[in-house]
Amino acid sequence: MNQPMADHESPATYSDELRGARTQLARMIEPADRAGMALLHCLGPITLRDTITSHQRPPGWLLQKVQTAMATWGLRSKPADLGDRFEAWRSRLPVVDPDTDARHAHSLGAWVVIPEDPDWPEPLDDLGLNRPIALWGRGDRSKLPGLAHSVAVVGSRNASAYGAAVTRDITHHVSGEGWCVISGGAYGIDAAAHSAALTAGTAEPPTVAVLACGVDRFYPSANAGLLSRIEEHGMLLSEVPLGCSPTRYRFLQRNRLIAALSRATVVTEAAWRSGSLNTAHHAESLSREVAAVPGDVLSGGSAGCHKLIREDHAILVNNGAEVLELLGPLGNDAALGIQAEQDDVAQRPEDSLEPHLLRLYDALPLRQDADPSNLCRVSGLSPTEVMTGLSTLRSRGLAADSLLGWRRVGSKNAPGTSRA
């Protein structure tokens, strides 16, 4: 088969088809699937969607395309890899019809914004190959331009009274000066930041929650009231389609969006394992400002903040005024802290899993056995990757099999309970 001409997908001509193609691709390709994202940038969403849905195997010209695309982005690729990726994408077929998806979104008051739209948040383009395929949102879409004046306030879910108090103080200060506060909608520091921004914020929107699940699901459920208020006065955003559940992998992926959307990321309280450190490192990699608030050195609750400061990843701030100074036109490039020997912290077995194994581990149920074909659909991995991965997880004591299927073992954390 000859290679088709590249699509010149004009938003003016193909806007509905583009939107439909992107929403379908978001159900087939995970955000960290570099081969899929490289092909998306190379072929465009319509050609890639049509190729996946109409071919049982990757055509020869696609093998050449992915090698060229991966090389362009400085990534390694092997011809055999695309066969596995193609099988993984097709394992999620059939995907929801775009019209059905659109009607479901409309019934919830949700909407979809894609990179071809004029109101697409441009800071997300700094993610390059990792830019979201699309964004689902709830709230007033006309407030999207307000994200250009945003700061992320993040931290541990298990916040102390000190952490919550300093978060409210900083958020009140920056919100009162017209900065939109972005966080993850989780317990602890996230909830304190959102609540303070809703009270004191003067920006439009005052606060935005970036979710690790579909915007049709308020997670965690105990924060449903808060998330409803954020929807009413601000916005809820997610890169995963409607109906998707939160997993550890998606929390970590979500953090890059919080970092990219914000001018600076402020970590107000974070333990060693807090996912907010992941957000801070994403911000640093995007050349965004990073700040951290010190805490009690005798308590582990601020150990992550101290690590960021000590290793020159973050600037020490004590209050909202210092955060505003960091956000000012001149910024603040002072590198505070000293280099010190890293502490040896005990890790859980799953902490060292490779990304594809973590996706498979998150897909495994705790209390019932799952068939490998179901694990393919949930994880987005090919059958070969799933079977090889299950064998690896079993050898590491993280999965067990029976006549009925596979289940997770070796961790006390359920999917989505890791710190975000």
Query: Looking at residue 71, what is its pLDDT?
Result: 76
Give how far Cα 142 sits from Cα of 35, 139, 195, 270, Å: 33, 9, 22, 33
Question: Is this structure's pTM higher than 0.85?
Answer: no
Query: Looking at residue 6, what is its pLDDT?
Result: 40
Query: Looking at residue 277, what is its pLDDT?
Result: 95
Q: What mean pLDDT comes out for the span 148-157?
A: 96
Query: Looking at residue 14, what is its pLDDT?
Result: 53
Q: Is the pLDDT of residue 8 over 90?
A: no
Q: Is the pLDDT of residue 416 over 50?
A: no
Query: Looking at residue 278, what is its pLDDT?
Result: 95
Q: What mean pLDDT comes out for the span 391-419?
A: 74
Cα–Cα distance, 174 to 292 (Å, whole number): 15
Query: Looking at residue 184, what is its pLDDT?
Result: 97
Residue 347's pLDDT band (cuts 50, 70, 90): low
Contacts for 88 with CB less than 8 Å, ≥ 6 apart: 33, 376, 380, 381, 382, 385
Query: Looking at residue 10, what is its pLDDT?
Result: 43
* DSSP state letters, 277-292: HHHHHHHHHTT-EEEE
Which residues in 147-243 belong to E strands, given as ranges? 150-155, 180-183, 207-210, 235-238
Q: Is the dihedral of CA 8, 11, 16, 18 positive or negative?
A: positive
Q: Is the pLDDT of residue 139 over 80?
A: yes
Largest CA distance in the chain: 66
> 164, 113, 116, 183: which is closest to 142 by C-alpha?
113
* DSSP state letters, 362-384: HHS-SSS-B-HHHHHHHH---HH
Which residues on adjacent β-strands are paired with residue 137?
A: 111, 237
Query: Looking at residue 328, what is its pLDDT?
Result: 78
Q: What mean pLDDT comes out for the span 60-80?
A: 73
- Judge whether 272 and 241 are in contact, CB under 8 Å: no
Query: Looking at residue 269, what is its pLDDT?
Result: 97
pLDDT in tens, 323-344: 999 987 533 333 333 233 333 4
Residue 163's pLDDT band (cuts 50, 70, 90): very high
Q: Is beta strand 110-113 parallel, antiparallel or unpaired with respect to 135-139?
A: antiparallel
Coil, strand or helix at 391:
helix
Q: Is the pLDDT of residue 187 over 90?
A: yes
Q: Lowest mean pLDDT: which of 9-23, 146-160, 233-247?
A: 9-23
Half-sphere exposure of 403 toward its Cβ, with a 13 Å CA cutoff?
0
pLDDT mean across residues, the chain: 87
Higher pLDDT, 34 or 142: 142
Query: Looking at residue 80, what is its pLDDT?
Result: 54
Query: Looking at residue 73, what is its pLDDT?
Result: 73
Higher pLDDT, 11 or 136: 136
Question: For a pLDDT cut of 90, what percent of the chain falls above it?
Answer: 65
Q: Which helix (H) or strand (E) holds 408?
A: strand 405-408
Q: Is the pLDDT of residue 285 over 80?
A: yes
Q: Is the pLDDT of residue 414 over 80?
A: no
> 150, 149, 163: which is closest to 191 by C-alpha?
163
Instruction: Name all domains of the chain by residue range, CATH numbers in brackets.
Output: 11-102 (no CATH), 134-327 (3.40.50.450), 349-408 (1.10.10.10)
Q: Is the pLDDT of residue 3 over 50?
A: no
Q: Which helix (H) or strand (E) holds 194?
A: helix 189-200
Residue 412's pLDDT band (cuts 50, 70, 90): very low
Which residues on adjacent β-strands are paired with residue 290?
A: 265
> 269, 238, 277, 266: which is closest to 254 by C-alpha?
238
Residue 391's pLDDT band (cuts 50, 70, 90): very high
Give 57-66's long-range contacts (Cβ < 8 A, gap of 24+). 57/83, 57/86, 58/82, 58/83, 58/86, 59/1, 60/1, 61/1, 61/2, 61/3, 61/4, 62/86, 64/3, 65/3, 65/39, 66/35, 66/38, 66/39, 66/42
Higher pLDDT, 184 or 33: 184
Cα–Cα distance, 92 to 377 (Å, whole number): 5
pLDDT in tens, 108-131: 999 999 999 999 999 999 999 899
Q: Is the pLDDT of residue 345 over 50?
A: no
Query: Looking at residue 368, what is its pLDDT?
Result: 85
Q: Is the pLDDT of residue 12 over 50?
A: no
Coil, strand or helix at 148:
helix
Q: What mean pLDDT comes out for the span 84-93?
A: 92
Query: Looking at residue 205, what is its pLDDT?
Result: 97
Give how far Cα 80 sits from Cα of 28, 55, 63, 162, 420, Å: 19, 16, 9, 53, 34
Cα–Cα distance, 193 to 181 (Å, whole number): 7
